[in-house]
Structure 1
Amino acid sequence: MSLFRTAKAEPRPYQLLAAENTLTRGNTLVVMPTALGKTFVALILAAHLLKTTGKKILFLAPTKPLALQQAEKFRELIEIPVEEIVVVTGEVKQEERAEEYANARVVVGTPQTVANDLKKNVLSLKDFSLVVVDEAHRAVGNYAFVFVSAKAVETGALVLGLTASPSADRKKIEEVCENLGIKHVEVKTAKDEDIIEYVKPVELDWIFVDFPKEFVELRNLLQEWLDEVLNALKQTGFTGSYGRVTKRDLLALRIRLLSGSGPSRFWALSLLARAMNLMHAIDLLETEGVGALENFWKGMGKREKTTKAVQALLKDERYASVLKKAGGLIDKKIEHPKMAKMREIVGAAAAEGKSTIVFAHYRDSVDTVLETLEETRFVKARKLVGRSGEGGMTQKQQAELLDAFRAKEFNVLVATQVGEEGLDIPAVDLVLFYESVPSEIRLIQRRGRAGRVKAGKTIILITKDTKDEAFHWISRKKEEKMHKILKSMTKKMNASQTPGKETPVAEKKLKRKKETKQSSMAEFL
């Protein structure tokens, strides 16, 4: 008898094939677009191994909300007593976790907690047949996924990594594969023949707006100030022969300065911090608007503990000048054209009874966007931000907010990066990017919030001739590059493996008619 409750959810052919390939080819990284059921691959495999090996299953989720969500899926779809499916996080006492490890058949846990328990011998993976790593692109550096996966490989447990977006950097993908002991990469795209019938169409639209001429004077003031600070920084000799200095250059320089020695580096660090603040101010003005800039600029002066770098900015007469010019634009109700466009788009969606997530990069921007949307007809908006810093939300507050959104108590969620992954975000009709992001991973994660259960739409607002537009092209090129790298790596891995037995059930399943699906599935499950 199958342990997978097929009456509740019948696995799709490509999911079954991915599960079988994991069994026959070894540790596997499954790369599949959001909403196409990566977790089902893990559930299918878990049901099979629970039945055939009698060993336990470990599912690693990066956050507690995701761990709780995945545990519910196991309880719903795997035919074992619910008390044998447990969630372990740092909030559970160590002695209680030890007892749960001993009695459970399926353990869903956060990676840091599981890694700590392995180090303290509270847990051993010798009794586990499968370790699933959700959001596997995080398995780099010293992240806890890496340690747990190494222990899994040591004990002979099968490792299954799941991700929608590993990276556009070949070295990073290779690092993920090495850290997880990956032998096979299973890549599926929305254009694949066996996937296409299950894909809910997501319309993608880019809307370009002009940088307001009224903002030019303010931008010039900030840019001249930044150039002055960068010139002073170059005089220290630490910046080398940089031409145009970017934020990435400054971040790399900061790491070098912090690990260096000599008194002059402290002056360089102070100049660098000033430059970073000024760059951020320009970015906000160009991509978010004068309201976000004002919030950030005023916030610098309100901090209880200000650094010497910030104090230097506050003492400069140009600090007050920026505030005056920004305030004047706000008083005249001159806003970034993105605001009007956003009101128009989100308001129209709300009028049609649709739900929306608006992503903004910075908390300052979230507050400005929220204020604007609260004045928009038909819109009931709330904000979702991370846990750190002033104005942060606790995990409980985040969960309560998302439950309210799921219950349709409000129809627009304005979120920072925290809404991209790591939380159980409900599917929506519309995803609106208030600005572009340079990361292909974040682009894919954000876009995946629409079109999960029905057709959806994603709109990206872009300010012409600014960093906004540059980020737009960067993220698109990175996504294309990622797919090419994955295709190349898959071919290479498959070629290096000795031909194994075919996966007849899955291969037949892809060809059989719908009426024969249940019997072929039973052969595997």
Structure 2
Amino acid sequence: MERQRTLFQTWGPTQAPSLPSVLPGIDMTAADVWIYPTNYPVRDYQYSITQTALFNNTLVCLPTGMGKTFIAAVVMYNFYRWYPSGKIVFMAPTKPLVAQQIEACYQVMGIPQQHMAEMTGSTQAADRRQIWRSRRVFFLTPQVMVNDMSREACPATQVKCLVIDEAHKALGNHAYCQVVKELTNYTLQFRILALSATPGSDSKSIQQVISNLLISRIELRSEECPDIQAYSHQRCVEKIVVPLGDKLKAHQAKYLQVLEAFVSRLIRLNVLSRRDFQSLTKYQLVLARDQMRRNPHPHITGLQQGIVEGDFALCISLYHGYELLLQMGLRSLFLFMQGIMDGTKGMTRARNELSRNGDFIELYETMKDMFMGTNGVSAAGVEKPFIYSHPKLKTLEDVVVEHFKSWAGLRDTRVMIFSSFRESVQEIAEMLSCHKPLLRVMTFMGQSSSGKSVKGFTQKEQLEVVKRFRAGGFNTLVSTCVGEEGLDIGEVDLIVCFDAQKSPIRLVQRMGRTGRKRRGRIVVILAEGREERTYNQSQITRKSINKTILGSNKAFHMYPNSPRMVPDGVSPVCHKMYITVGQYQHSEKARRSSKYFFSFLKHS
């Protein structure tokens, strides 16, 4: 056991774990053949990747909508055949994804539902123990898997195939990493299939994923690859750069005066060397604070050290507000600052400091006059016109309205809009709702956590919103990052990105929401200056990563030896066959939840 733990942590390019000469549990009559379905059109790239994934621990990177789940279903089915007493596990990071993937995999290969199980944290631990004994194919979140292995409820030695969805999350001590580490304490005889639209935000994070998931092969196809171009529809990407305008620049200048007052205190103490307030970032402040902690200044001791820590925390918060101002506009900045000033964010020191700053109070009172009031109604009861708190909002409105007008009378069309902050999502939805019935708008957000001023959706509610959107109950979905990953949103003709993402992962996932069945359009709306530069750098990084991977796997340190999952001398040959799949039966509990939430949406 201890030897296996050491192997996991220290494997190198010349090391390979010794594997057993016999393979317990394999059905030798089944092992001569692997099955590939013809009930879906046969695509050469899917066939090739599936074959690789059966015989190697593989990281599969395909654009959204190009069939990662299909490949997973075929691989799982063949291990289900080869190992009649083995356990097959599919992990996804959220409950909605788990619920979606169990049905999607069933639709491909038709594994009997009585052999499959969907398990979440809400399933009682005693019930899960029984399910592990009685079922063979499991769909769950990694946290459930970690908990059940720690309780010895999961028969880890029987796990023969482990599928990991959204595999780029396997960094640090993520639950995905914990599952793989714990499994290697029991057995090295299992296949890993990792799935992601993009492998990571940079080479270092990709290497972490490879190491943490014991990956031996990377199968990546970008949209430029000829073998998938025949199956992907053209996506037109437009970048619109919007000037800040005189009004927002005036508020920016006032806010920079506030920043200068607090940042200058750190500069005077020589704990911050950067003097250009306008280009300073939260990340640079965090690095400077970490540097101070590692190498404390001898003249900063005791009480003063606590004051400096407080100034760093305040400046980091202020620069978060600055990003909101430049990317989202005054309303998002106001709501953020309001949370500090009314105490809901619990930042007592920041509130006290800001209350004594005249420039801040003047700016805050100006914003309060602009945005205070409920549902667009002033204190006098007069309906207030919508305030475009950032010039990008007007551009967004024009793009979306023009899209629906141009599609009028042709066929149904849907639009999805992404913005990183909940307050911005609410603001966009309020603006677009003025265009009913042309636009039927719904917001889509993750679960609420403490300190959030805007209520989020439970995971059940998220699934119902997605179903309603696919069915045409509304045609415009305004989403936070929860809409980027995994969930099958359906066919979307226009994607609008209201902010730039530093990580190429998020941009790729957003773009993957269109162009699945017909030509798609992507519009990225950027504020002139910092946000535009962020977007350009993200594009350069994405192309560089794909070039590195496609050029040669030698750029990365791969796991030295995937285990053989069929005996020596056995080389399974492919048998293509039509798989007849029945109707997937949803649980009664899920149907009741759906009926309730559809009623909720009608009245919301």
Q: How does the TM-score come out when normalised to structure 1? A: 0.88
Say yes or no: does 1:194 pair with 2:215: no
Matches within 5 A, 1:419-438: 419-421=483-485, 423-438=487-502
Deviation at 1:61, TM superposition (A): 0.5
RMSD (Å) for aligned C-alpha atoms: 3.0
Say yes or no: does 1:281 pair with 2:340: no
CA contact (8 A) 1:30 1:187 kept: yes
Matches within 5 A, 1:77-226: 77-153=108-184, 155=187, 156-226=189-259
**Amino acid in structure 2 at the alignment position of 1:369:** I
Deviation at 1:416, TM superposition (A): 1.2
In structure 1, what is the Cα distance between the partners aligned to 2:370 and 2:246? 11
- In structure 1, the partner of 2:90 is 59
Percent identity reads 28
CA contact (8 A) 1:184 1:493 kept: no
In structure 1, what is the Cα distance between the partners aligned to 2:274 and 2:526? 32
Deviation at 1:444, TM superposition (A): 0.7
**Amino acid in structure 2 at the alignment position of 1:44:** V
**Amino acid in structure 1 at the alignment position of 2:238:** D
Among candidates 362, 371, 389, match of residue 321 of structure 1: 362
**Amino acid in structure 1 at the alignment position of 2:154:** L
CA contact (8 A) 2:46 2:67 kept: yes
CA contact (8 A) 1:357 1:415 kept: yes
In structure 2, what is the Cα distance between the partners aligned to 1:381 and 1:314? 38
Q: Deviations over 1:287-334 (max 9, x none)?
A: 222332333333332334342113311342223311344467778956
Say yes or no: does 1:358 pair with 2:417: yes
Q: 1 or 2, which has the higher helix percentage?
A: 1
Say yes or no: does 1:47 pair with 2:106: no
Say yes or no: does 1:381 pair with 2:441: yes
CA contact (8 A) 1:168 1:481 kept: no
Deviation at 1:429, TM superposition (A): 1.3
- In structure 2, the partner of 1:251 is 286
Q: Which runs of 5+ in 1 are unaligned?
A: 507-518
Q: Deviations over 1:41-91 (max 9, x none)?
A: 111111222122322211111111101111112322233321211011111
Q: Deviations over 1:473-522 (max 9, x none)?
A: 12101101211232245256799989x99x9978xxxxxxxxxxxx6568
SS of equivalent to 1:450: coil
Among candidates 361, 370, 394, match of residue 340 of structure 1: 394
In structure 2, what is the Cα distance between the partners aligned to 1:495 and 1:406? 40
Moved more, 63-72 or 343-352: 343-352
Deviation at 1:362, TM superposition (A): 1.4
CA contact (8 A) 2:493 2:519 kept: yes
Moved more, 302-311 or 319-328: 319-328
In structure 1, what is the Cα distance between the partners aligned to 2:203 and 2:131? 39
Deviation at 1:432, TM superposition (A): 0.3
CA contact (8 A) 1:150 1:181 kept: no
SS of equivalent to 1:375: helix
CA contact (8 A) 1:152 1:159 kept: no
Comparing both chains, which one has the higher relative contact order based on Cα–Cα distances under 8 Å and sequence gaps of 6 or more?
2
Say yes or no: does 1:453 pair with 2:517: yes
Say yes or no: does 1:290 pair with 2:354: no
**Amino acid in structure 1 at the alignment position of 2:284:** D
In structure 2, what is the Cα distance between the partners aligned to 1:40 and 1:373? 36
Among candidates 499, 504, 521, match of residue 440 of structure 1: 504
Count residues in correspondence.
508
CA contact (8 A) 2:258 2:357 kept: no
In structure 1, what is the Cα distance between the partners aligned to 2:551 and 2:311? 44
- In structure 2, the partner of 1:268 is 308
In structure 2, what is the Cα distance between the partners aligned to 1:142 and 1:491? 26
**Amino acid in structure 2 at the alignment position of 1:174:** Q
**Amino acid in structure 2 at the alignment position of 1:458:** I
Among candidates 40, 58, 67, match of residue 37 of structure 1: 67
**Amino acid in structure 1 at the alignment position of 2:362:** S
Moved more, 164-173 or 132-141: 164-173
Q: Which runs of 5+ in 2 are unaligned?
A: 1-29, 372-383, 579-604
Q: Deviations over 1:414-443 (max 9, x none)?
A: 111121125443341111011211110111
In structure 1, what is the Cα distance between the partners aligned to 2:334 and 2:558? 57
In structure 1, what is the Cα distance between the partners aligned to 2:176 and 2:557? 25
The verdict on how the C-alpha distance between 1:254 and 1:362 changes in structure 2, with shifts beyond 3 A counting, is farther
Deviation at 1:128, TM superposition (A): 2.1
**Amino acid in structure 2 at the alignment position of 1:476:** Q
- In structure 1, the partner of 2:537 is 474
CA contact (8 A) 1:349 1:355 kept: no
Among candidates 451, 468, 474, match of residue 410 of structure 1: 474
Q: Deviations over 1:172-193 (max 9, x none)?
A: 1111101111111111122223
**Amino acid in structure 2 at the alignment position of 1:41:** I
The verdict on how the C-alpha distance between 1:394 and 1:497 changes in structure 2, with shifts beyond 3 A counting, is closer
Q: Deviations over 1:386-419 (max 9, x none)?
A: 2123322222332232222222111111111121
In structure 2, what is the Cα distance between the partners aligned to 1:258 and 1:496? 36
Moved more, 88-97 or 208-217: 208-217
In structure 2, what is the Cα distance between the partners aligned to 1:266 and 1:36? 53
Moved more, 349-358 or 220-229: 349-358
CA contact (8 A) 2:484 2:506 kept: yes
**Amino acid in structure 2 at the alignment position of 1:252:** L
Q: How does the TM-score come out when normalised to structure 2? A: 0.77
SS of equivalent to 1:177: helix
Moved more, 114-123 or 400-409: 400-409
In structure 2, what is the Cα distance between the partners aligned to 1:60 and 1:495? 22
CA contact (8 A) 2:207 2:557 kept: no
- In structure 2, the partner of 1:23 is 54
CA contact (8 A) 1:32 1:38 kept: yes
SS of equivalent to 1:29: strand
**Amino acid in structure 2 at the alignment position of 1:165:** T
Moved more, 331-340 or 114-123: 331-340
The verdict on how the C-alpha distance between 1:497 and 1:118 changes in structure 2, with shifts beyond 3 A counting, is closer
- In structure 1, the partner of 2:596 is none
Moved more, 450-459 or 421-430: 421-430
SS of equivalent to 2:489: coil
Matches within 5 A, 1:225-244: 225-239=258-272
SS of equivalent to 2:442: strand
SS of equivalent to 1:263: helix
CA contact (8 A) 2:214 2:558 kept: no
**Amino acid in structure 2 at the alignment position of 1:178:** S
SS of equivalent to 2:206: helix
